[in-house]
Structure 1
Amino acid sequence: MPDSRPPSEVRWAIVGTGAVSRHIAADLAAVPKTQLAAVLSRSLTKARTFADEFGFAEAFDDLGDLVADPQVDAIYIATPHALHAPMALRAIAAGKHVLVEKPLGVNAAEARRIAEAARRHGVFAMEAMWMKFNPSFRAFVDQARGGRIGDIRTVRGYFGLPLGTVDSPLWSAERSSSTLLDQGIYPVTLALELLGTPNGITADGHVRADGVDLTEYVTLRYDGGQVAHLAASMVQFIEPTASVSGTAGWMTIPAPFMQATQFATHAMEDGLTAKLFSPEVSRFDREGHGYVPMLRAVTEAIRRGDTEHEWHPLRATVDAFDVLDGIRAALTPFPAPHN
């Protein structure tokens, strides 16, 4: 039976050896009270090469062997979308803490199953929504919520970058590839942070014949008349910036907004005019590749014996998936683009 006591140091494993895993491995090395315990890849050769490069103690090519390893406390899962929930559930059942690369699953049902399993087994579980732990993003949200620009009326969040090609794994129906889950999840999370759950959704977009969504344009509507305008794409550029507007000014985050280190505040002066051309700019330092604040916060939470983090609890992930599923249901497809 796994030791239920909080560890003095958290022994981390990483599943997957792609680009995100490389950033996570490098940033984990900068977090106090961590050990680099193990790496898992479908190829044992790749796992061993990755382990040697970043200083992990063990390498595996079988998930069952990894989750059975008593030298592993927590697992970062960075695999294709379709594998997130199955792998997380196996790790949780083995008593391991999990941090799952976004999206947590492919729909709200999977997110709920992970949340229920984590509660049942008493382990920490979280979607790796690193944006929420970015000091700049947290200050942006705190100022907006705190009334710096009056009552919030409009939120805008865009994230469109051409990614891969038609035969790329990023476009794979079998792997549950999705612009909404890859890019759109950031604007949706921003809207929920600032406005909460909407009462209406309209959406248009490009969807391939096999169901892989390529572009979405979304409007979320709220009871008080507030709106969120969101867009995401993996086939075209849509300026990856964000803003929030209120009754006393507005705030903007430059590209790419989910990892920006600054934002600008255009607040009313003397109750008459906004700072049109000379906004107040708030700047912050980036740690590592930007994952350090999240990894540090999760490591500290696990060491305390917490099973969730207040900045991104499982309830918030489930709520976001309810909206993501609602966007899918509401989406009116445009003719698919020629590729």
Structure 2
Amino acid sequence: MLNIAIVGTGWISRQFADAVEATGAFAWTELFSRKSSKGEQFLNPGEHVTVRTSFAELCDSDQVDVIYIASPNSAHFSQASEAIRHDKHIIVEKPAFSNPVEFRKILELLKKHPSVRMFEAARNIHTKNFHAIAKKLSEMDSVNGATLSYMKYSSKMPMLNDPAQGVPNVFSPDFSGGALQDLGVYLVYDAVALFGKPKEATYIPCMLSTGVDGMGTGVLRYDDFLVTVITSKTVSSSMRSEIYGTKDYISADDGGELRNVCYVNRDGKEEPMGETVSDNPMLGEVGEFSSVLDDLGSPDAESRYQHWLRLSEDVNSVLWDMRRSAGISFPSDSSADLR
């Protein structure tokens, strides 16, 4: 069993840690936190994990084989680069990197360290319900577009009205934040994983005073249909996501959680799909990533890994096209030639 370290002490790191423990896929050995006190507070009773405040020491540790990176978006590139140089496998929380140049540099680094694997933690595409959607699509006579929605009011919103608390990372361009870079990533993953990379991708945002989008609508153009993506961190909505056939369609509660999925046939009859979703939506990705790492060198494992890597690169490119169409830029973009 491989040893894993977790970077970050937010709620998503806690969910990932719980998934690791529930699946038994990895042995959780170390935790990185900028403050040791915060790291200790993160641990539950009975979790015997080394807390480190130095990322370099974490990468040097011989008790770490895999590093899960759930730091602010803008820190992913530097931490992933250092981890790869130390020949550690990495699982990078979505969005993996801020722009295509960062992604390209990571790919170049991976070529220099061929034993290392890099995964983007886009949990929705690793669920059984997503696999059920993909299977049903292959059985439908035709696909004629989709509307994918994921809108969820952020618990960080009240902080925007309190200058004393500062701008939350998720709403700061300095940390490559915004609705598209957060919830919107799941929707772009849905589209690219199911339909391929679009011919064109645009985005119309509702901007916040901080310089990032609080919500927005994107259009992904394919040869024969359009996919509309609607995302927000400033409001919540129960709007369902749908993929259209002709008279039939697939319906899901939203494009991110995929907890309730059904097929509606030509007669309007609902046919439930998939299964009841666990309270922890990260179980699927933890299981799938560990199965590849446990079987390195096999044709099946390598095929699955290369598919996910290409998918991650395509999603990164689509997100960049959408941001560029909306005029949304981050400080991390200025350090690279993004023409």
TM-score bracket, shorter-length normalisation: 0.7 to 0.9
Look up the match of 1:5.
none
The correspondence of residues 300-339 of structure 1 with structure 2, limited to 5 A, is 300-305=291-296, 310=304, 313-331=308-326
Q: Is the 8 A contact 2:150 2:256 kept in 1?
A: no
CA distance in 1, matches of 2:14, 2:242: 31
Q: Is the 8 A contact 1:218 1:231 kept in 2?
A: yes
The runs of at least 4 aligned residues of structure 1 exceeding 4 Å deviation read 306-309
The correspondence of residues 87-166 of structure 1 with structure 2, limited to 5 A, is 87-122=79-114, 123-144=116-137, 146-148=138-140, 150-163=141-154, 164-165=156-157, 166=160
Letter matched to residue 105 of structure 2: R
Count of matched residue positions in the alignment of Structure 1 and Structure 2: 314
Distance 1:283 1:155, change over 3 A: same
| 1:74 matched to 2:66 | yes
TM-superposed CA distance for 1:93, in Å, is 0.6
Of the candidates 288, 306, 322, which is equivalent to residue 297 of structure 1? 288
Moved more, 46-55 or 189-198: 46-55
Distance 1:250 1:85, change over 3 A: same
Unaligned runs of 5+ in 2: 161-166, 329-339
Look up the match of 2:195.
195
| 1:175 matched to 2:156 | no
TM-superposed CA distance for 1:24, in Å, is 0.7
Letter matched to residue 192 of structure 1: V
SS across alignment from 1:237? coil
SS across alignment from 2:189? helix
Higher helix share: 2
TM-superposed CA distance for 1:210, in Å, is 5.0
Distance 1:294 1:202, change over 3 A: closer
Letter matched to residue 226 of structure 1: F
SS across alignment from 2:144? strand
SS across alignment from 1:162? coil
Distance 1:305 1:289, change over 3 A: same
Of the candidates 233, 256, 259, which is equivalent to residue 257 of structure 2? 259
Q: Is the 8 A contact 1:44 1:59 kept in 2?
A: yes
- In the TM superposition, what whole-angstrom CA distance separates every residue of 1:176-201 from its partner, at most 9, and x where no partner exists? 21211101111111111222122233
Unaligned runs of 5+ in 1: 1-8, 268-273, 334-339
Distance 1:205 1:91, change over 3 A: same
- In the TM superposition, what whole-angstrom CA distance separates every residue of 1:138-185 from its partner, at most 9, and x where no partner exists? 1112211x133x211111111122212223332122212121110111
Look up the match of 2:231.
232
Distance 1:83 1:202, change over 3 A: closer
TM-superposed CA distance for 1:209, in Å, is 5.5
SS across alignment from 2:145? strand
Distance 1:48 1:309, change over 3 A: farther
Q: Is the 8 A contact 1:137 1:258 kept in 2?
A: no
Q: Is the 8 A contact 2:202 2:321 kept in 1?
A: no
Distance 1:65 1:52, change over 3 A: farther
| 1:211 matched to 2:211 | yes
Distance 1:111 1:64, change over 3 A: same
Q: Is the 8 A contact 2:200 2:222 kept in 1?
A: yes
Q: Is the 8 A contact 2:128 2:274 kept in 1?
A: no
SS across alignment from 1:181? coil
Letter matched to residue 249 of structure 1: D
Q: Is the 8 A contact 2:59 2:88 kept in 1?
A: yes
Q: Is the 8 A contact 1:31 1:296 kept in 2?
A: yes
- What's the TM-score, normalizing by structure 2? 0.86
Look up the match of 1:4.
none
Look up the match of 1:3.
none
Look up the match of 1:242.
241
The correspondence of residues 42-61 of structure 1 with structure 2, limited to 5 A, is 42-51=34-43, 53=45, 55-61=47-53
